[in-house]
């Protein structure tokens, strides 16, 4: 079974997210708040939302998801790729705000160690996500 993940991202980050997520998941790519809201149905297993999604509307999407009874249990993860441009204090602030609003956490792709095989950290991330989604499914059964 492929888990369905809504990926709310800037158009220029779509290629990277496809690389990060591989072909193990059924990805629904959205580049606007309206598109993401329309894609959110009960068969969505997870939401991955870029911090810079739709000109900074990540928090709008997070608030929408948590306000909707049918959606609030869907795991919501923020995704950041700052290439070291943001201070650790700013990144911590984003992470804290997300947690306060009910998100599961923040993946900072820029902090993932990329050795001579950049696919390795992404493979580990996908394995962790699949395990987390399977555990969530087991809890709901």
**pLDDT (tens digit, 0 to 9) for every residue of the chain, 141 residues total?**
789 999 999 999 998 889 888 888 999 999 999 999 999 998 999 999 999 999 999 999 999 999 999 999 999 999 887 666 677 888 888 889 999 999 998 887 766 655 556 667 788 788 888 887 887 776 565
Is residue 97 a contact partner of residue 80, using CB atoms and an 8 Å limit? no
Does this model's pTM top 0.75? My answer is yes
* Angle at CA of residue 59, ends 139 and 131, nearest 5°: 25
**Cα–Cα distance, 62 to 41 (Å, whole number):** 15
């Amino acid at each position: 079974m492929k888990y369905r993940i809504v990926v709310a991202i800037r158009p220029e980050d779509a290629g990277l997210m496809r690389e990060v997520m591989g072909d193990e998941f059924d990805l629904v790519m959205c580049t606007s708040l309206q598109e993401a809201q329309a894609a959110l149905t009960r068969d969505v297993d997870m939401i991955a939302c870029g911090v810079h999604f739709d000109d900074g509307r990540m928090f709008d999407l997070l608030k929408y998801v948590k306000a909707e009874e049918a959606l609030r249990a869907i795991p919501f993860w923020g995704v950041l790729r700052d290439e070291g441009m943001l201070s650790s204090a700013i990144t911590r602030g984003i992470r804290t705000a997300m947690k306060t609003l009910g998100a599961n956490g923040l993946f900072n792709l820029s902090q993932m160690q990329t050795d001579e095989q950049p696919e390795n950290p992404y493979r580990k991330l996908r394995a962790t996500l699949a395990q987390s989604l399977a555990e969530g499914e087991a809890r709901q059964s």
